[in-house]
Structure 1
């Protein structure tokens, strides 16, 4: 009996540190999860801020073409534009805006704000109005019909609900306002690339902060109820072609909110 008691005591003593550790994790699990999420968001902002120079080189022609819609809209209105950029990240698009543009930058990651402000100081062609922390699907703090244009570049692949995000885009646009976009999209259904995208998507979404390889963004835009939609298909020309083959299908274009909407 004494031996059994001793064995039980020894077992309890050995598992005591493990039990304490599990208890602490259980008690502080929310703080631990919050800390991990915060560090991940900070790291993602740091990486993306350094990667944007390369992205701009790769997409320069397509971004220039897309932002010409803004220049034409400015000429049509006869005044400087008030623009919302959703998923602005570190604000890598400031190079492309027409001179005098006033910009509100929206992004859910709070660690982009310092990068946005740094980049704004380098660009005399624009004026940064403010940085808003929030999701494209939930822009309730932004007033209806308040922006001349909304800009999205490589964002719609990552929003949680593209229908809701586009409805919000349309809501905050002034009648006659424009939504311009540059996005990578799902390849043609049934194609070899599309099959690769379907296979890679779960891993890709985990590694790339929710980026979705199989999203048919063009279809979502067309079905949002814009009065006019212009979409141009192209293929991204990344340096590492084998590694990025499945994200090459892309679009850019412009959608117009009707004046009677």
Structure 2
């Protein structure tokens, strides 16, 4: 009888301990969820900071081509550019800006700020005006017609609402200002790669902070109301050809707000 009583007491203690544990988790659930989210953002920033160095080398030709439009604009204006870089990440694009460009970096992940500042310190030829934590879809803290250029590289795949983001890009651009972009996009509808993208997309979005494999970014840009749009299709030249097939389709180009300067 004593043995049975001891076993029952042990079960009761176990159930009580389990209930207390569940209760504590439930009570502190907001703090736990917040901590997990913050650590996920920190890990993503740390990983991308290292990964973007390789991506920058892969995209060097395309970036050098599209960033030349900023050099041309700077020459036409006769003064250093004011540029907004949307979704700047660790700011590896600092390699490509014209001398004395004044840059505002917009980035939703707060853990990228230290990497942005480190990169700015390495590039004495440009000026980092400030780092703003925020999203492309709502930039009401930035004034209308306040930038000569807006830059997006590998960003439009992750914004929640590309139409609203492009409306904001147009709003903050000065008349005659230029929007330049380099993006990976959805493959041709119905193609083998497009089918793979659709299959992979749910998992990819979860792992890569909302990155969307099936977004037709070119169509969004063409329909955004810019006066002059130039888009070039290309294939990202990754290693591991079969493993990266679904993120190869890409575009780069520019769009002008209003009349070209």
Name the structure 2 match of 1:82.
82
Name the structure 2 match of 1:44.
44
Name the structure 2 match of 1:224.
224
SS of 1:93's equivalent in the other structure is helix
Question: Structure 1 regions of 5+ residues with no counterpart?
Answer: none
* 1:142 has 2:116 as partner: no
* 1:16 has 2:16 as partner: yes
Name the structure 1 match of 2:98.
98
Report the TM-score, using the length of structure 1 for normalisation: 0.95
Name the structure 1 match of 2:61.
61
Name the structure 2 match of 1:164.
164
Aligned counterparts of 1:206 and 1:78: Cα–Cα separation in 2? 45
Name the structure 1 match of 2:176.
176
Report the TM-score, using the length of structure 2 for normalisation: 0.95
SS of 1:99's equivalent in the other structure is coil
Question: Structure 2 regions of 5+ residues with no counterpart?
Answer: none
Name the structure 2 match of 1:248.
248
SS of 1:90's equivalent in the other structure is coil
CA-CA distance at 1:22 after TM superposition: 0.8
- 1:123-176, Cα deviation, whole Å (9 max, x unpaired): 122100000001111111111110000000000001111111111111110111
Name the structure 2 match of 1:154.
154
CA-CA distance at 1:76 after TM superposition: 1.7
Name the structure 1 match of 2:257.
257
CA-CA distance at 1:10 after TM superposition: 5.6
SS of 1:116's equivalent in the other structure is helix
Name the structure 2 match of 1:197.
197
Aligned counterparts of 1:251 and 1:207: Cα–Cα separation in 2? 23
C-alpha RMSD of matched pairs (Å): 1.8
Superposed structure 1 runs of 4+ greater than 3 Å apart: 4-12
SS of 1:224's equivalent in the other structure is coil
CA-CA distance at 1:8 after TM superposition: 7.2
Aligned counterparts of 2:51 and 2:203: Cα–Cα separation in 1? 20
